[in-house]
Amino acid sequence: MKLRPDCTKLDKKFGWSAQGYLLPCCWCDLKSTFDNKQGALSELVKEHLHIDKVQSIDEVLDTPEWKNFYKVITNDKITNETPEVCIRHCGQGMRSIRVKEND
């Protein structure tokens, strides 16, 4: 199985956790992310990446943690760093389907 990560598509929005962290998307806002159980994703919620510890979002994106996350999710192979939530949604395709009926 290979990931087809939605977060590498321009129309997929970043997520933001009420705990104060930028996330690749809203699906990543899980207890397990903050419990250090989501591999490279859990690295993105380290204390120094908190909104109150940075000057700007660009500063967050330019960190080794975000660079490594991108490397992990665009890797051809699933590794122990690949977040389980990314495998579930962007590997196995577990997602909702939305259909507009009268637009």
User: According to the binding rule CB under 8 A, does residue 18 interact with another protein?
Assistant: yes
| Phi, psi of 23, rounded to the nearest 5 degrees | -130, 155
Q: What sign results for the dihedral spanned by CA atoms 65, 83, 10, 100?
A: negative
79 touches another protein by CB under 8 A: no
Contact flag: residue 1 with another protein (CB under 8 A): no
Among 2, 4, 13, 53, binds another protein (CB under 8 A): 13
Residue from 1, 10, 76, 80 binding another protein (CB under 8 A): 10
Contact indicator for 3, 88 with CB cutoff of 8 Å? no
